[in-house]
Amino acid sequence: MHIHVLGSAAGGGFPQWNCNCRNCAGLRRGTLRARARTQSSIALSGNGEDWLLCNASPDILVQLKSFAAAQPARALRDTALRAILLVDAQIDHVTGLYMLREHRARWPLWTTRPVREDLERGNPIFPLLDHYCGSDWHEIALDGAAFAIPQVPGLRFTALPLRSNAPPYSPHRDRPIDGDTIGLAVEDMASGKRLVYAPGVVEIDARLSAAMRSADVVMIDGTCFRDDEMIALGISKKRARDMGHLAQSGAGGMLEQLAQLPPATRKILIHINNTNPILDEDSAEHAEVRAAGVEIAYDGMEIEL
């Protein structure tokens, strides 16, 4: 399995256009040792030629420019992206669909039913896309059964319904139901190697925990270091938990959860908010995460499994 991180930041990216928090201002001024990051998306492939886009970020055009494998140039109009899967209906994961409207065929598009409903009503990208290339929707079932995406051979997927939050334009905002947010367990059918990808999750339940324990690589919600991070900065009244994200620090936090995994498991934080102190490579929090054997995803990160 080939994993390519297109965007490792949460919604807003890093630096965020209107933000002057310590991180964003420091990066802009060049006084902070950190990497800029675009919004949340990864690409997956079994054979290195046919790729699944997992989440379509508002930054997709920039992301594709620095991902050579995405443009094999076999025809006048071409792409190695063969299908798209969305783990939720949030802006940072779906807005890139607008930028992919010039596709030469209907996009094979995989989502859960609640995500499809949000993208038909509150944020009607699906009907809008019908005026351009259009899409063929495939339902991701929540019954735990593995499924294949025929355009992306060699990989087998299982949806993990996750506790998080639904977008503000969803009827389920603050009262999420199963399928508003999923994680993915992905198995390479040739090597048997497994990835768990879960960029938005507030609670590690038994099913997610079991999938994480049997994975070789876990790429998981790295949004905030502290639950009250946005409140402490005066940016928001919301805790990470209210937004559907489990913070890294504290009792029951992500670092504690990841510490329970086998030592050989690669543990990688992804979907990192621009306020998160781990982005500052000289911070105590960055050092704490690295000392715990946890990696911090960056744009362009590649993993072969």
Residue numbers at the binding site for Mn ion (CB under 5 A) = 10-11, 90, 92
Please, what sign has the CA dihedral across residues 43, 17, 245, 31? positive
Interface pattern 80-119 for ligand MLT (x via CB under 6 A): ----------xxx---------------------------
Interface pattern 2-41 for ligand MLT (x via CB under 6 A): --------xxx-----------------------------
Pick between residue 45 and residue 55 the one whose CB is nearest to ligand MLT.
Answer: 55
Of Mn ion, Zn ion, ligand MLT, none, which one does residue 91 interact with (CB within 5 to 8 Å by kind)? ligand MLT
Max CA separation in the chain (angstroms): 54
CA 167 to chain centre: 15
Q: What are phi and psi of 192, to 5 degrees?
A: 75, 0
The nearest distance, CB 233 to Zn ion, in angstroms, is 8
The nearest distance, CB 36 to Zn ion, in angstroms, is 12
Q: Is 88:164 a contact under the CB 8 Å cutoff?
A: yes
Pick between residue 24 and residue 53 the one whose CB is nearest to Zn ion.
Answer: 24
Strand (E) or helix (H) holding 161: strand 155-161
Measured CA to CA, the distance from residue 239 to residue 281 in angstroms comes to 24
Amino acid 225 reads F
CA 71 to chain centre: 22
The nearest distance, CB 71 to ligand MLT, in angstroms, is 27
Q: Compute CA distances 183 → 73, 140, 221, 290, whole Å.
A: 32, 11, 10, 24
Interface pattern 37-66 for ligand MLT (x via CB under 6 A): ------------------------------
Member of 179, 200, 222, 277 binding ligand MLT (CB under 6 A): 200
Measured CA to CA, the distance from residue 255 to residue 267 in angstroms comes to 10
The nearest distance, CB 231 to Zn ion, in angstroms, is 14
Pick between residue 198 and residue 261 the one whose CB is nearest to Mn ion.
Answer: 198
Of Mn ion, Zn ion, ligand MLT, none, which one does residue 273 interact with (CB within 5 to 8 Å by kind)? none
Strand (E) or helix (H) holding 284: helix 284-291
Pick between residue 80 and residue 296 the one whose CB is nearest to ligand MLT.
Answer: 296
The nearest distance, CB 198 to ligand MLT, in angstroms, is 12
Of Zn ion, ligand MLT, Mn ion, none, which one does residue 21 interact with (CB within 5 to 8 Å by kind)? Zn ion
Of Mn ion, Zn ion, ligand MLT, none, which one does residue 274 interact with (CB within 5 to 8 Å by kind)? Zn ion
Pick between residue 91 and residue 142 the one whose CB is nearest to ligand MLT.
Answer: 91
Q: Torsion-angle region of residue 234: left (phi > 0), alpha (psi -120 to 50) or beta?
A: left
3-state class (DSSP) for residue 108: strand
Provide the pairing of β-strand 135-139 with 41-45: unpaired
Measured CA to CA, the distance from residue 273 to residue 279 in angstroms comes to 9
* Binding region for ligand MLT (CB under 6 A): 10-12, 90-92, 200, 243-244
